[in-house]
């Protein structure tokens, strides 16, 4: 107590609660998160820069990055400034007294808070608009660069008389600008409405005036700009009609020309007048006239934009559509054939015969050695089992077809690269060092002669083994860049240092593995701590910082697949889905066809790229599916080459007249080499691209017709047949198309066989008979490269299509009997049918199909070629060699020039009906006895009877079995026993 007043005890200090310290902690955490995001962005950008510099294409990186930054800054700033300016204007012109009370007491506090911290709020809004607008704009860098570097086509469209370049380059960029204009004005309007609402300048609940005078002015200007942009959109829509899809085709139709086009012009004028009324509202301060103008615009859009075209279509066009649309169909046909490179496609009538004379066969004898028997989509497992060497090596599911000079003659060759696949390492060998520093590369090329088989049915290899030996010459065998390469590998080291990269499992004379140290120019140096930190962050792998295997001379290899490297080196290209390897000038390279595409070629028919290129091989193994996008223009403008050892990417201009290619060459100067720089050795391995061919054959199914009346009637519509050898899966909703085939053949007007890409057509109706055969010269060194030749078959002669021929093969008694041992449930094997090839021969069309046998149980099974099936006209035959099968089907000796690799010589082809009957009867008896022995569990007798059955079947086949040399039953004929379905 002091001075009569009790002293109050000191208040104890409040204990610091855990919730108070985070006031300082939260900003720290937020700062760290921002720094981590910025470092992640920096890591991605900087490692991309290092990657591009490693392939000497730093200019591509700088051009793309510079363009993206420019668009980000310009559009982002414009959007941020516009939105912030409207917020500031709305704030500064706020009324002293709100037009109506706020909807809740707490609502006004938001306005007070924003007023107190206005700079922060403005900064947040500006930052958001900058990021939003800039991010959207930076994604349009391709459209901007194409517009900025546009090249005239030298061809005008058929309606507006403008150069095609306007539609391909200018129109898309104008659409982008229009979209940004809409976004900027709409966001500004939203920001102005919110600001005026917060400060009482705009209250829809007010009984009288709902917006202050300043709010009306601001809203009027922004709405006027929005309607003005709509007027510009109507004007731009006129050009968009040239690539719009109507019921019949892409382009302006009769209704589009006589109703939609004039309605767009009228609506553009009305929209301009309506915008003027909104601007006038700045002075008059009444919403009556702008409201009336808006109603007029909406009603006009309904009447002129919807009802008028619908009425015209129903009343004038539909009753006489073929006449009204004829001229527009002609424009579509002409433009489509131009845009897809189909102008030179020839359609000739081919009076296909169903029988051939010996003289006709003699004339075509030089074609026969080019018939490829080895199916690249089947023998992948055979390559793997016979040439894998070690379990960590692998081959793709689908191999590739190329041409090599072997024994002085150029022959079709099935080829693949032996790649390393670390996922196949045993679990005990999986660790970071092995995955990323030891098993770094594949080794060697394996190739097989396309028209030969060994005595046991395996391919005859022209290049094989480790180290590689064969007839393809000397080359650098190490495959550091391929379709199955590891995600990243650490390679290289100091000179004289210890090698750790596995080269071959054994030395040249056996013994210990041979090791290698990468000394190629490819890869990014990772010796410095800074680069190690960047790549440890990029791949989220601390071992890159901690491992002693990373030394000052180390390099990191990543982004290693051929398609991936081409997509990054030329981001304006669409690469083919199937790169293929070749030995060129002593190096293994990957050849990738690059396409320039557009969806804005006037009047050209649009197609979905993924649908047009899809067949039974698409998406299988390493064959990529094309993106889901619409195109109506395509050119194989670039041949890209990726070195399998050092990863270098070379781009060669192939279609040097392509304006789209010229445009991108201006945007990225000195990145594409001229066509004249292609070496003769590389030229020998270039071929017609498969995906572009698929798009073209899809269109030629309809656009082989050039008469508008026939085109409209669809009376001559074709389609690509379904692949008869495909095994349908539960996910297949529709049958997949038969893939095209690379094949050396001679068309009727050609003096000698040519390496070609081929396909067939059947009628669009439910029928499966053949209606046309098509081939394009695929040899890049040929003067006729890229020339389409289409053989139209007569409509009064039934030429079987692939499905019907395959059905014949399955139901023919001789073939069924020959395949019986392979298709028995307990035989331990199954028949696998290869590609069904079609080619003109002897005045008709010959079908050839290899049949493989595959063991169904046990490890290490792989397909071996057992029989060759052939069909000509109504006759089918089979043999252990192509020569044998052809001799049977033509009833005359046929020399294919085939080296059967030690198979039995062709049997005596003299009639031996009695021998055949006896042999088949003995085979049937042996089969019955074998089944009885199996039911009794007598496996020894079962095996003995199976061998007796096989021997009897072989005797029948050697005698030229009667069922295979006489006409097969027509598809309507019911066989005496159910057909044997192929398995696989």
- Residue among 557, 559, 555, 582 nearest 640 (CA): 582
Structure tokens, 954: 């072989």
CB under 8 Å to 219, separation ≥6 — which residues?
Answer: 189, 192, 193, 202, 211
State mean pLDDT over 355-361. Answer: 73
Quickly count: other Cβ atoms within 10 Å of residue 397's Cβ.
Answer: 16
Query: Measured on CA atoms in the order 237, 240, 242, 244, is the torsion positive or negative?
Result: negative
Say what the pLDDT of residue 510 is. 61
Q: Sorting pLDDT into bands at 50, 70 and 90, what band is 732?
A: low
* Position with higher pLDDT, 9 vs 228: 228
* Position with higher pLDDT, 965 vs 591: 591
Give me the chain's average pLDDT, please: 87
Q: Sorting pLDDT into bands at 50, 70 and 90, what band is 977?
A: very low
556: β partners: 490, 524
Q: Which residue has the tokens 């010589």?
A: 905
| Strand, helix or coil for residue 68 | helix
788-792 and 346-349 beta bridge pairing: parallel
State mean pLDDT over 750-776. Answer: 91
Whether residue 1 has pLDDT greater than 80: no
Please give the DSSP secondary-structure letter assigned to residue 800.
Answer: B
| 464 in Cβ contact with 441 (< 8 Å) | no
Whether residue 362 has pLDDT greater than 90: no
* Position with higher pLDDT, 451 vs 900: 451
- Residue among 849, 764, 756 nearest 802 (CA): 849
Measured between alpha carbons, how far is 698 from 691 in angstroms, rounded to an integer?
Answer: 11
Asked if omega into 467 is within 30° of 0 (cis), the reply is yes
Measured between alpha carbons, how far is 603 from 871 in angstroms, rounded to an integer?
Answer: 42
* Position with higher pLDDT, 600 vs 727: 600
Say what the pLDDT of residue 106 is. 63
- Residue among 315, 323, 271, 268 nearest 293 (CA): 271
Q: Kindly report which listed range (312-321, 429-438, 924-933) carries the lowest average pLDDT score.
A: 924-933
- Residue among 268, 166, 162, 182 nearest 223 (CA): 182
State mean pLDDT over 751-759. Answer: 92
Structure tokens, 703: 């656009």
State mean pLDDT over 229-253. Answer: 95
Q: Sorting pLDDT into bands at 50, 70 and 90, what band is 164?
A: very high
Say what the pLDDT of residue 249 is. 95
Say what the pLDDT of residue 976 is. 32
Q: Could you give the C-alpha distances from 55 to 166, 560, 643, 843, in angstroms and in order? A: 34, 12, 11, 52
Q: Which letter, b or e, does each residue of 288-309 get, where b requires 16 or more Cβ atoms within 10 Å of its Cβ?
A: eebeebbeebeebbeebbeebb
Say what the pLDDT of residue 925 is. 76
Q: Kindly report which listed range (345-354, 506-515, 520-529, 578-587) carries the lowest average pLDDT score.
A: 506-515
| For the chain, percent of residues with pLDDT exceeding 70 | 89
Residues across the chain: 984
What's the pLDDT tens digit per position in 538-548? 999 999 999 99
Whether residue 964 has pLDDT greater than 70: no
* Position with higher pLDDT, 457 vs 642: 642
Q: Could you give the C-alpha distances from 965 to 582, 642, 775, in angstroms and in order? A: 41, 50, 29
Whether residue 511 has pLDDT greater than 80: no
* Position with higher pLDDT, 982 vs 828: 828
What's the pLDDT tens digit per position in 448-463? 999 888 888 899 999 9
What's the pLDDT tens digit per position in 713-731? 998 999 999 999 887 655 5
Say what the pLDDT of residue 830 is. 87
Q: Sorting pLDDT into bands at 50, 70 and 90, what band is 767?
A: confident
Q: Could you give the C-alpha distances from 486 to 557, 559, 567, 801, in angstroms and in order? A: 9, 9, 18, 44
Q: Give, to the nearest 10 degrees, the angle between helix 58-92 and helix 141-148.
A: 110
Q: Give, to the nearest 10 degrees, the angle between helix 58-92 and helix 171-198.
A: 30
Say what the pLDDT of residue 900 is. 55
Specify which of 133-137, 389-393, 932-936 reaches the highest per-range mean pLDDT: 133-137
- Residue among 889, 897, 844, 770 nearest 367 (CA): 897
Say what the pLDDT of residue 896 is. 67
Q: Sorting pLDDT into bands at 50, 70 and 90, what band is 888?
A: confident
Measured between alpha carbons, how far is 399 from 483 in angstroms, rounded to an integer?
Answer: 12
| For the chain, percent of residues with pLDDT exceeding 90 | 64
Whether residue 894 has pLDDT greater than 70: no
CB under 8 Å to 559, separation ≥6 — which residues?
Answer: 51, 565, 568
């Amino acid at each position: 107590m002091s001075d009569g007043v009790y002293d109050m005890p000191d208040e104890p200090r409040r204990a610091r609660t855990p919730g108070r310290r985070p006031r300082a902690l939260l900003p720290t955490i937020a700062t760290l998160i921002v720094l981590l995001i910025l470092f992640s962005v920096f890591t991605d950008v900087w490692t991309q820069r290092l990657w591009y510099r490693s392939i000497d294409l730093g200019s591509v990186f700088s051009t793309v990055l510079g363009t993206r930054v420019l668009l980000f800054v310009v559009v982002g700033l414009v959007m941020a400034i516009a939105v912030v300016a409207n917020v500031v204007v709305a704030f500064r012109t706020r009324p002293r007294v709100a037009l109506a009370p706020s909807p809740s007491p707490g609502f006004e506090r938001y306005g007070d808070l924003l007023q107190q911290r206005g700079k922060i709020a403005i900064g947040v809004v500006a930052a958001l608009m900058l990021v939003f607008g800039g991010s959207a704009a930076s994604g349009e860098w391709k459209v901007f660069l194409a517009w900025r570097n546009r090249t005239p086509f030298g061809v005008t469209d058929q309606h507006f008389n403008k150069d095609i370049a306007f539609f391909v380059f200018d129109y898309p960029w104008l659409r982008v600008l229009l979209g940004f204009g809409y976004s900027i004005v709409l966001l500004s309007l939203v920001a102005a409405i919110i600001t005026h609402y917060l400060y009482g300048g705009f209250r829809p609940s007010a009984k009288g005036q709902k917006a202050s005078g300043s709010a009306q002015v601001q809203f009027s200007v922004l709405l006027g700009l929005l309607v003005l942009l709509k007027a510009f959109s109507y004007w731009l829509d006129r050009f968009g009609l040239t690539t719009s899809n109507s019921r019949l085709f892409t382009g302006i139709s009769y209704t589009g020309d006589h109703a939609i086009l004039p309605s767009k012009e009228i609506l553009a004028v009305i929209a301009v007048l309506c915008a003027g009324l909104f601007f006038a509202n700045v002075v008059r301060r009444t919403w009556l006239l702008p409201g009336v103008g808006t109603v007029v615009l909406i009603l006009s859009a309904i009447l002129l934009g919807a009802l008028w075209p619908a009425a015209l279509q129903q009343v004038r066009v539909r009753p006489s559509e073929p006449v009204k649309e004829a001229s527009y169909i002609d424009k579509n046909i002409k433009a489509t054939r131009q845009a897809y490179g189909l102008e030179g496609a020839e359609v000739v009538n081919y009076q296909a015969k169903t029988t051939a004379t010996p003289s006709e066969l003699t004339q075509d004898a030089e074609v026969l050695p080019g018939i490829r028997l080895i199916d690249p989509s089947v023998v992948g497992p055979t390559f793997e089992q016979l040439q894998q060497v070690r379990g960590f090596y692998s081959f793709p599911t689908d191999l590739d077809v190329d041409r090599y000079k072997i024994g002085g003659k150029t022959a079709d060759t099935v080829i693949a690269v032996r790649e390393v696949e670390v996922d196949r390492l045993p679990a005990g060998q999986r660790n970071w060092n092995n995955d990323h520093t030891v098993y770094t590369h594949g080794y060697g090329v394996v190739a097989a002669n396309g028209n030969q088989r060994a005595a046991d049915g395996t391919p005859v290899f022209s290049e094989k083994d480790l180290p590689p030996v064969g007839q393809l010459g000397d080359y650098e065998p190490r495959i550091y860049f391929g379709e199955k390469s590891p995600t990243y590998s650490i390679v290289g080291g100091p000179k004289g240092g210890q090698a750790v990269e596995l080269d071959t499992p054994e030395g040249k004379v056996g013994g210990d593995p041979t090791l290698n140290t990468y000394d190629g120019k490819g890869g990014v140096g990772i010796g410095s701590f800074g680069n190690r930190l960047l790549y440890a962050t990029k791949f989220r792998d601390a071992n890159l910082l901690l491992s002693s295997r990373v030394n000052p001379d180390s390099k990191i290899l990543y982004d290693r697949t051929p398609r991936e490297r081409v997509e990054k080196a030329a981001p304006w290209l669409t690469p083919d889905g199937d790169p293929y390897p070749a030995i060129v000038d002593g190096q293994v390279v990957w050849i990738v066809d690059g396409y320039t595409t557009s969806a804005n070629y006037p009047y050209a028919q649009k197609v979905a790229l993924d649908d047009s290129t899809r067949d039974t091989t698409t998406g299988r193994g390493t064959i990529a599916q094309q993106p889901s996008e619409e195109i109506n223009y395509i050119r194989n403008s670039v041949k890209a080459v990726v070195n399998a050892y050092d990863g270098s990417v070379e781009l060669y201009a192939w279609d040097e007249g392509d304006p789209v290619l010229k445009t991108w060459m201006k945007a990225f100067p000195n990145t594409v080499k001229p066509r004249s720089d292609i070496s003769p050795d590389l030229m020998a391995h270039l071929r017609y691209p498969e995906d572009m061919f698929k798009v073209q054959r899809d269109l030629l199914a309809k656009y082989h017709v050039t008469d508008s009346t026939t085109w409209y009637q669809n009376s001559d519509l074709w389609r690509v047949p379904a692949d008869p050898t495909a095994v349908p899966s539960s996910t297949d909703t529709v049958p997949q198309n038969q893939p095209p085939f690379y094949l050396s053949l001679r068309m009727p007007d050609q003096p000698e066989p040519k390496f070609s890409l081929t396909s067939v057509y059947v009628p669009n109706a439910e029928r499966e008979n053949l209606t046309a055969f098509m081939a394009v010269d695929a040899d890049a060194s040929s003067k006729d490269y890229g020339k389409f030749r289409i053989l139209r078959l007569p409509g009064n002669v039934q030429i079987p299509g692939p499905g019907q021929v395959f059905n014949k093969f399955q139901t023919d008694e001789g073939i069924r009997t020959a395949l019986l041992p392979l298709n028995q449930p307990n035989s331990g094997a199954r028949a696998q049918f290869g590609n069904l090839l079609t080619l003109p021969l002897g005045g008709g069309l010959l079908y050839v199909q290899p049949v493989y046998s595959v063991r169904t149980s046990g490890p290490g099974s792989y397909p071996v070629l057992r029989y060759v099936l052939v069909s000509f006209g109504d006759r089918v035959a089979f043999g252990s060699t192509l020569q044998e099968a052809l001799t049977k089907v033509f009833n005359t000796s046929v020399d294919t020039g085939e080296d059967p690799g030690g198979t039995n010589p062709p049997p005596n082809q003299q009639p031996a009906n009695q021998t055949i009957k006896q042999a088949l009867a003995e085979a049937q008896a042996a089969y019955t006895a074998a089944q009885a022995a199996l039911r009794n569990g007598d496996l020894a007798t079962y095996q003995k009877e199976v061998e007796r059955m096989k021997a009897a079947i072989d005797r029948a086949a050697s005698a030229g079995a009667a069922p295979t040399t006489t006409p097969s039953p027509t598809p309507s004929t019911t066989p005496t026993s159910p057909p044997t379905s192929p398995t696989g």
